[in-house]
Structure 1
Amino acid sequence: MPGTAAIYVRISKDSTRQGLGVERQEAACRELAGREGLTVGDEAIFKDNDISASTNSRKPRPAFDAMVSAVRAGKFTHVVSHSNTRLTRRMRELEDLIELSKETGVQYLTVVSGNDNLATATGKQMARIKGSIAAGEADLTSERVKDAAKQRAEMGKPKHSRYRTFGYDAEFKAIPEEADVIRDAFERVVRGESVSSIAVLWRENGVNMGNGKDVHYSTVKNVVRRHLYAALSTYKGEVVSRSTAEPIVSEALFWAAQDVLDRKRNPRSGKNARRYLLAGLIQCGECGHVLYGSHTYTNKSGNSRHSYICKTHMQGCGKVSVMGHHIDEMVLTMVKRRMTMTDAIAVPETIDYQSKIQALEEQMQVARADVREGRLTFLDIRETLIDLSQQKTALEALAVAQEDEEANYVPNRTWVEFKTASLSEQMATVGAVIQGVVVSAATSNKWDASRVTIYTKRGNAVPGTSIKSDVGDMRRIVAGFRDIPVKPTKLSKPIKGLDGKFAGSNKADN
């Protein structure tokens, strides 16, 4: 008696996205169904294109699931596929198909794998043997693919995808216009701007990623997280070699951006929103933990008052609390002093880090040339490349630090501009001037400036007693910090060069 057939077609990888592979399978399946006298309706074709059926794939197969549901509903008496591997390479799914045949009586026909009668023990045995072989082939294929991917990563070869990688041409040479956009995003993140604000900026400027998709938060985050832009080759998230792609950002800038994003990712940060000037910069002098900003009260004039507190539930000692406006005013005084300096402090002697970096790059190029010309293998030079790369990273970091230090002495923003800037911009400027603030426990209920030590970017300690602020000017700025909805921050790292009780230099830098 003729029956009705469901045709299931699938291809694991379709690089053209045109579905030509599944169309060829469908034609062969229709021919087989015709020879068997089966009816194939318009709604009997189930296609999963560019989807694997192996145990190594977690991607769902919507057409396969729909086909099983239709069979269970009694719509089809037969399922036709090109081969048993098109149906599944998963032993667990095979058992489900055997059980489906037992429940509904459905029969499975294949163009090239033969037909197994699942109503008999022999038929089920043969189906399981074929399924086991198919699963084994899938595992072997997976191993080969992983080995090839690891080898490509170790050789520094970038991974090609369906769409051109933003910032690069097909040969992974930087496209200047797109590279500028990428570099600007990294720099904005390091300056403290949010990823969301950068995404908005990209949309407003019509940045085209080349994949037909709109720019969102995740778009920018993925760009700034991508090692490729620093010419770093990774495998399973670990850097294994230098990439042959042209670098768009320096390693120093890349890792600085990662540090900023990692700090923002801390799940504990939500309760300490960045509405406090020194969030992430002020630390407890007793235990070393960050002091958290906390709203205290609003006075009769409508000005908000806040404190910086060492919180026990955040692993702090709970011994230190200080009124925020006192500390903010002291730090703002230092910022103003730095901005209004012209001839007071000479710019420190600079070191030509770029020539040192260039020398290391030339050594790396020589090593790679030895590999290309067959004199050495990649394994021979891998340790050398890693060592040279680490030296280069350290020098680039020193170069960036030197640029920051010079920027502190040659301000690029006036005090008037600073006062009218957003809190995020003010925080970024403060972070460029100071390394951190340490506050010790109080000995009385009165304000005591000697509790405070401010550490400059050069690691010098500035006693709080040496800072005389323009109280009126500073408090007008501090009063403007209240109720500002901004992104959260995280516990910052301990102040560089300080540990334990924050024993630092006594040299004043004021």
Structure 2
Amino acid sequence: MRGRATAELAATYERISDDREGRELGVDRQRKDNQAVAEREGLTLVGGAPYTDNDLSASTKAKKDRPQYRRLLADARAGRFSVIVAYTQGRLTRTPREYEDLIDLATQYGIRFLYVRSPSFDLNTAQGREIGRTMAARAAGEAEETAERVARAVTDRVERGEFHGGPRPYGLEPDAKTIREDEAERIRAWARHVLAGGSLRSIARELNEAGVSTISGAPWRGEVIRKILLNPRVAGLRVHKGAEYPSWSPEIIAPATWRALKVVLESPDRRRNPGSPARKYLGVGLFTCERCPGTTVNTSQNHNGQRTYLCKSCYRSWKAQPIDDWLVGPDGLVELLLAQEDQRARLMPRRESSVDLAALETEASAIRTNMAELATEYALARGAVRAALQQGMAAGEARLAEIEAEIVRAGQVDPLTEILGDDPVAVWRATTDLHRRQAVIRKLMTVALGPPIRGRAPWEPEKFIRVEPVEPA
């Protein structure tokens, strides 16, 4: 064991588990008390950055790393100081496993520990280590009991539909129970936009251009809108440990609409990279190569700076701008189709028979409750009973998947619904969001590109662009 440093250098460690205001007042108070103890004991504090972990837990359930605590232990092993001062033993750690690291510091490196509000004892003695381990076990138990009480209280509030506190949710007043209509109407419009094929990025851009800011006054971003739409609160729901409960807040959009949004926004096929070419060019992810069925085109630029569509399989390329203009430009193919009355009648989305959403939700809730009871029995069952319970749970999961699919279909929006009105061409021209334009085109037609026009050959799109009409579902 290495002897103590003659200068009796010391370091203080401060930590607080929850700093909701982010002002570090708790750690500042701890530091003053720790420094007072060091001064009283005649210790010299080492300089440099403080050993402080703010808003970080040290309990057995903690998942976040404590970087300054790790630095404290490393510097102790390196001999930078021989004494560690903390407010209590629990500020250093609340886990018996980590406490063994402190015992190692004492027995192998001669480190002493002083506390403001905990008894100080010598970890180099068997009795001191016994007392320390007992206190560490007690601290861990207290932390776990507190966590269980908090979790139980949260579950009770959820089951009673009570507001758990926090900042004002978007779409609601500060009481979280009264709808703020202007914001709620935006949320409804966002939902219609996304379900009709629109992008979150275009929503954010329009809000920022109109001078509308978030609750905090910051500019809008697509990810912020995504989080609002995915929050079950907007559908009057709350999800806790995988189970759904009625929320304290009123319904802004229908639960079926919210479930459809989840399918769209959480789809692995949905691109979330703002630099993706699919967000910039009409044909990417939409046009296919006639030679390579199923392969959609990408985009690139040739040596003259002109944008081209490029097949990712056979590497054929086509000049992009003439194709886009022919298809979606003024008096282009899309506008010609939308202007024809017989085409509009053919394309008008068919209304499905009404779905009894309330009955479906009731059935789904009953199935979830039944499956929870079956799972409890399954854990205790054996043999044939266990196999029968497993079959019952599988049947419940299958029916639940069918119900959720029906609810999602009921909440989806056909992208042609808002286009095919009194003046569909004008509505189409006002639709600037690329995702929505692509969604409309997918409902109208499929576009495949054949052998590209080369050299000085005249522009005859019908010779290499094959357009197939899509029959309404």
Tell me whether 1:209 sits opposite 2:214 in the alignment: yes
Q: Which residue of 1 aligns with 2:335?
A: 336
Matched, 1:414 2:425: yes
Report the equivalent of 2:437. 426
Identify which of 100, 103, 118 aligns with 1:113.
118
Contact map agreement 1:5 1:76 (CA 8 A) in 2 = yes
In structure 2, the CA distance between the partners of 1:63 and 1:279, relative to structure 1 (3 Å rule), is closer
Which residue is 2:60 aligned to? 55
Contact 1:5 1:44 in 2 (8 A): no
Which residues in structure 2 correspond to 1:194-343 (within 5 Å)? 194-211=199-216, 215-235=220-240, 238=242, 240-261=244-265, 262-265=267-270, 273=278, 277=282, 279-280=284-285, 290-294=294-298, 306=309, 335-342=334-341
Q: Which amino acid aligns with 1:426?
A: R
The worse-fitting range, judged by mean Cα deviation, of 201-210 and 412-421 is 412-421
Q: Is the CA contact 1:52–1:59 (under 8 Å) kept in the aligned structure 2?
A: yes
Task: State the 1:86 CA deviation.
Answer: 1.1
Higher deviation after alignment, 16-25 or 120-129: 16-25
Q: CA deviation at 1:88?
A: 0.7
Question: Superposition pairs for residues 114-193 of structure 1, below 5 Å?
Answer: 114-150=119-155, 152-153=157-158, 156-157=161-162, 159-161=164-166, 163-168=167-172, 169-193=174-198
**What amino acid is aligned across from residue 297 of structure 2 in structure 1?**
G
Report the CA distance shift for 1:270/1:199 in structure 2 as closer, same or farther (over 3 A): closer
CA–CA separation in structure 2 for the residues paired with 1:352 and 1:206: 41
Q: CA deviation at 1:286?
A: 13
Q: How many Å separate the matches in 2 of 1:303 and 1:229? A: 45
Flag the 1:50–1:331 CA change in 2: closer, same or farther, 3 A. same
TM-score (norm: length of structure 1): 0.61
Q: Using a 3 Å threshold, how does the CA distance of structure 1 residues 228 and 284 change in structure 2: closer, same or farther?
A: farther
Q: How many correspondences in the alignment?
A: 425
Contact 1:234/1:241 (8 A) holds in 2: yes
Residue 108 of structure 1: how far off its partner (Å): 0.6
**Under a length normalisation based on structure 2, what TM-score does the superposition of the two structures give?**
0.65
**Structure 1 CA distance, aligned partners of 2:219 and 2:427?**
38
Separation in 1 of the partners of 2:108 and 2:422? 79
| Residues 141, 419 of structure 1: alpha-carbon distance in 2 compared, 3 angstrom cutoff | closer
The alpha-carbon distance between structure 1 residues 124 and 246, as it changes in their structure 2 partners (threshold 3 A), is same
Residue in 2 that maps onto 1:371:
none
2:469 to 454, 477, 481: 454
Conserved 8 A contact 1:153-1:240: no
Note the alpha carbon deviations across 1:144-179, whole angstroms, 9 max, x for none: 444544554455555533x33333323343322333
Unmatched runs of 5 consecutive residues or more in structure 2? 1-5, 374-398, 452-461
What's the CA shift for 1:114?
A: 1.8
CA distance in 2, matches of 1:199, 1:192: 15
Amino acid at match of 1:410: G
Instruction: Work out the CA distance in 2 between the residues paired with 1:421 and 1:14.
Output: 44
Residues 41 and 322 (structure 1), Cα distance of their counterparts in 2 relative to 1, 3 Å cut: closer
Q: Residue 82 of structure 1 aligns to which amino acid in structure 2?
A: Y
**Paired AA for residue 128 in structure 2:** G
Name the CA shift for 1:426/1:40 in 2 (closer, same or farther; >3 Å): closer
Instruction: Give per-residue Cα distances to partners, 1:207-240, cap 9 Å, x unaligned.
Output: 443447654454333333323222332235x452
Following the alignment from structure 2 to structure 1, what is the Cα–Cα distance between the partners of residues 213 and 432? 30
Secondary structure in 1 matching 2:178 = coil
Alpha-carbon distance in 2 for matches of 1:407, 1:204: 23
| Alignment check: 8 A CA contact 1:84 1:110 kept | yes
Distance in 2 of aligned mates of 1:295 and 1:341: 32
